[in-house]
Amino acid sequence: MSIGASLPDNVLERVARGERVVVRKGRKVVAAIVTPADLKALEIRTVRPTKVETEAIRKARAEGGTPIPWETVRRRAGL
């Protein structure tokens, strides 16, 4: 979906310079406007891990131990 025509020019100029613009509704962040390069990077990250992440996963699996459920990790991190 494209909404560029209804955004203020200064917002589009800021994003064109590489800035990430956060959109809020009251105090709540509801969206972010990013460059196409940022969007592509985010899409890649959600699809496959980086080489560094893959190596960390391999090392963790090789160490063995009891896996920690994601919900536990999330709760401990306060997410």
Please determine, for residue 1, whether its predicted confidence score (pLDDT) is greater than 70.
no
DSSP state of 3: -
Distance from C-alpha of 12 to C-alpha of 9, rounded to nearest angstrom: 5
Nearest residue to 9 via CA among 39, 33, 44: 33
Strand ranges (E), the chain: 21-25, 28-33
Please determine, for residue 5, whether its predicted confidence score (pLDDT) is greater than 70.
no
Banded pLDDT at 28 (limits 50, 70, 90):
very high
The tally of domains found in the chain comes to 1
Distance from C-alpha of 73 to C-alpha of 71, rounded to nearest angstrom: 5
Distance from C-alpha of 63 to C-alpha of 39, rounded to nearest angstrom: 34
Domain of residue 60, residue span: 4-77
Give percent of the chain with pLDDT exceeding 90.
43
Residue 20 is predicted with a pLDDT of 92
